[in-house]
């Protein structure tokens, strides 16, 4: 997205505002399909649940990976039919199971024995088939909060327990296969070598299975999809498995920009730029020490920039953790300038909150250079609207 377009969006919709480039989403989608031909793509809704984005993906023949009732209903509302949805995650309590069974969700990834016990009462009511999630107990070389396949992680079952559950499911004729998702922001494709070795043995012991779900977790901005494909596609071919992947961040992160205005510039060591967006809008820097590119959006008529500035880009709240970026160099930043925080299309608005009674940002989508509103900015009355209904 060009600077003039971002400036026009900020002028029209205010700040903070999330902007999503749907053409970039399509480009990432195309790269997945080139590398993994024939794979079923199930978008991880938790990355970005924007209705406009979900509708766009549904129109591109993408299904959904959901973990809550809210995500299930959002995907349905966007046109993602139940047969193209995968329900996973640690929750799967009776109310969620009942709703998913009523709809006939295509695949369910079982995270533990008790989830299967909940599902047993609904098997005659639904065509749903099941995967068993394996926790391989390995180091996926990522942030500890993102290492879902580590031995200490709450996700899935160790291989012996996963196989025991799989035998129970297979006895009902509903076992589709296995699910293995070892973490997020995976950069080193060599971590898949041990996974392939593990899965080879498991699928030999369960030759009737026809599906493999490898989750997602591909790092942005660049993930070696070809290296992933060289490891996974031969495994799927040898065992005649339909491959499922669950891209979330990979599809939306680089498509998203958070626009924010500079409120104040405070000299010092470090210096501080105070922006109108912070941890209530983009939590990832505070939660994961995530680093997002930040740049000043330059008006075409700006001929006299201020001196280059180095320090922290901070948010407006009373928290030391309220920061968009540390130790950054920004060219000519002054109060009123527009900042663009990049790679913000995943786990940005999805994690935004009303902390300190902050108002969540507007969302805008852009396609072919045309911007349109996807969600209005919250107003003060939205903060107590649900209280007034009590």
| 3 state SS for 77-97 | HCCCCHHHEEECCCCCCHHHH
Whether 390 is catalytic is no
What torsion do the CA atoms of 128, 131, 133, 134 make, to the nearest 10 degrees? Answer: 170
Pairing of strands 40-44, 309-314: unpaired
Backbone torsions φ then ψ of 84, nearest 5 degrees: -105, 20
User: In angstroms, what CA-CA distances link 67 with 22, 85, 275?
Assistant: 24, 10, 33
Beta-ladder partners of 329? 310
For residues 148 and 155, is the Cβ–Cβ distance under 8 A? yes
Cβ-based neighbour number of residue 221 at 10 Å: 11
Of residues 56, 70, 62, the one with CA closest to residue 39: 62
Tokens 């076992």 label which residue? Answer: 175
3-class SS at 153? coil
Compute the distance between CA of residue 120 and CA of residue 204 in angstroms, rounded to an integer. Answer: 26
Yes or no: say if 186 and 141 are a contact pair by the CB < 8 Å rule: yes
**Considering just the CA atoms, what is the radius of gyration of the chain in Å?**
22
Q: Please list the residues that pair with 51 across neighbouring strands.
A: none
Residues in the chain: 390
Q: Which among 268, 304, 307, 318 is annotated as catalytic?
A: 318
- Phi and psi for 212 in degrees, rounded to 5? -130, 120
Active-site amino acid positions: 318
């Amino acid at each position: 997205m060009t600077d003039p377009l971002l400036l026009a969006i900020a002028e029209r919709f205010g700040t903070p505002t999330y902007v999503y480039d749907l053409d970039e989403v399509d480009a990432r989608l195309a790269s997945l399909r080139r590398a993994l031909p024939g794979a079923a793509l199930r978008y991880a809704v938790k990355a970005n649940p924007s209705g406009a984005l979900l509708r766009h993906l549904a129109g591109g023949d993408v299904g959904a990976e959901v973990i809550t009732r809210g995500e299930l209903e959002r995907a349905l509302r966007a046109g993602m039919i139940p047969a193209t949805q995968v329900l996973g995650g640690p929750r799967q309590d009776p109310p969620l199971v009942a709703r998913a069974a009523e709809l006939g969700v295509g695949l369910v990834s079982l995270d533990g024995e008790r989830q299967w016990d909940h599902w047993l009462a609904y098997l005659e009511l639904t065509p749903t088939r099941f995967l068993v999630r394996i926790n391989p107990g390995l180091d996926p070389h990522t942030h500890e909060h993102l290492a879902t396949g580590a031995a200490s992680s709450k996700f899935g079952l160790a291989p012996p327990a996963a196989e025991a559950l799989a035998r129970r499911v297979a006895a009902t004729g509903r076992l589709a296969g296995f699910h293995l998702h070892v973490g997020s922001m995976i950069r080193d494709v060599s971590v898949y070598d041990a996974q392939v070795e593990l899965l080879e043995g498991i699928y030999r012991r369960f030759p009737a299975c026809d599906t493999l779900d490898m989750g997602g977790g591909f790092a942005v901005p660049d993930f070696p999809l070809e290296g992933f494909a060289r490891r996974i596609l031969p495994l799927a071919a040898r065992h005649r498995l339909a491959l499922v992947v669950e891209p979330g961040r990979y599809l939306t992160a680089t498509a998203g920009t958070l626009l924010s205005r500079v409120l104040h510039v405070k000299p010092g060591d470090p210096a501080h730029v105070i922006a109108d967006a912070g941890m209530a809008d983009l939590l990832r820097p505070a939660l994961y020490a995530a680093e997002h590119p930040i740049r000043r959006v330059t008006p075409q008529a700006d001929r006299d920039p201020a001196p280059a500035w180095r320090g922290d880009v901070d948010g407006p709240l009373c928290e030391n953790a309220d920061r968009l970026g540390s130790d950054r160099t920004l060219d000519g930043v002054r109060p009123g300038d527009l900042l663009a925080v990049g790679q913000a299309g995943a786990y940005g608005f999805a994690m935004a909150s009303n902390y300190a009674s902050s108002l969540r940002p507007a969302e805008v989508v852009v396609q072919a250079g045309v911007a349109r509103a996807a969600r209005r900015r919250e107003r003060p009355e939205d903060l107590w609207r649900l209280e007034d209904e009590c």
